[in-house]
Amino acid sequence: MKFDTHLPFSVVAMAVLSLLFPFAADWHLPLLGGALVTQIENAQALWLLFGALFTAWYIKPLSRPEGEKQFWMWAVLWWMVLLGRSTSWGRAYFPEQPHLVFRVISVTLIGGLALSLLSGPLRKDIVRRVKEVTMPVWLLAVTICTFIISDTIEHHRLLAPLFVHNPQYADLMEELYEIPFMVGLLLVTYYFMKTDKSSDQQLFPLNISMDCK
């Protein structure tokens, strides 16, 4: 496994914002009767949808070689699963629909994610990436840490009081910490997509040289 220890400005910005979030309660940020949290959730849903569409557009999974093709289709499916989870599988926007509809959506998406791992090319590509692809250390660290903090707040774990200074702001804190997580997730995805495209550019001149011979 290789590591990229470069510290980009985006990571610093996400880390600083994450340190400031708990003070929202001390600053008496207006919750607007829950409307603020709802608007953040809506924005997050749009972001996750954008993540899926951008990944599919930028990397074009079906045009990738075997292994990479399965990996990037799996990545797009991950975005859709996260979108489904953030909207309670659609229940947040269509509460009048039967519960069975949302159950089918959740089983289909999560099942597809799990069953994808039965693909040999996908498993081989995951192993290859772990062994060969450079990992952006600080970007991954901030992304993972903000996810853990959000999960800690959501499930009222032992360290939750460190981030929730006022119980009335618990929902807001959870959503705020999901923002750098989701932004970081897209930046990590973009980092790996650029790595794959860079590999293509390195191979292309080689192919031209071989054709000329």
Asked if the structure places residue 209 within a domain, the reply is no
Cα-based distances in Å from 198 to 68, 193, 195, 204, 205: 14, 9, 5, 10, 12
Rounded CA separation 92/130 (Å): 36
Supply the pLDDT for residue 204.
53
**Residue 198: which domain range?**
2-204
Asked if the structure places residue 210 within a domain, the reply is no
| Residue 167 clears pLDDT 70, i.e. is over it | yes
Q: How many CB atoms lie within 10 A of CB 206?
A: 9
* Percentage of the chain modeled with pLDDT above 90: 83
Q: Is the pTM of this model over 0.85?
A: yes
Asked if the structure places residue 213 within a domain, the reply is no
- Mean pLDDT, to the nearest integer, of 76-82? 97
pLDDT digit string (tens) for 50-71?
999 999 999 999 999 999 999 9
Q: Where are the alpha helices (DSSP H) in 99-136?
A: 99-115, 120-132
How much is the mean pLDDT over the chain? 92
Number of structural domains in the chain: 1
| Residue 101 clears pLDDT 90, i.e. is over it | yes
3-state secondary structure the chain: CEEECCCCHHHHHHHHHHHHHHHHCCCCCCCHHHHHHHHHHHHHHHHHHHHHHHHHHHHCHHHCCCCHHHHHHHHHHHHHHHHHHHCHHHCCCCCCCCHHHHHHHHHHHHHHHHHHHHCHHHHHHHHHHHHHCEEEHHHHHHHHHHHHHHHHHHCCCCCHHHCCCCHHHHHHHHHHHHHHHHHHHHHHHHHHHHHHHHHHHHHHHHHHHHHHC
Asked if the structure places residue 212 within a domain, the reply is no
Asked if the structure places residue 32 within a domain, the reply is yes
Rounded CA separation 141/73 (Å): 25
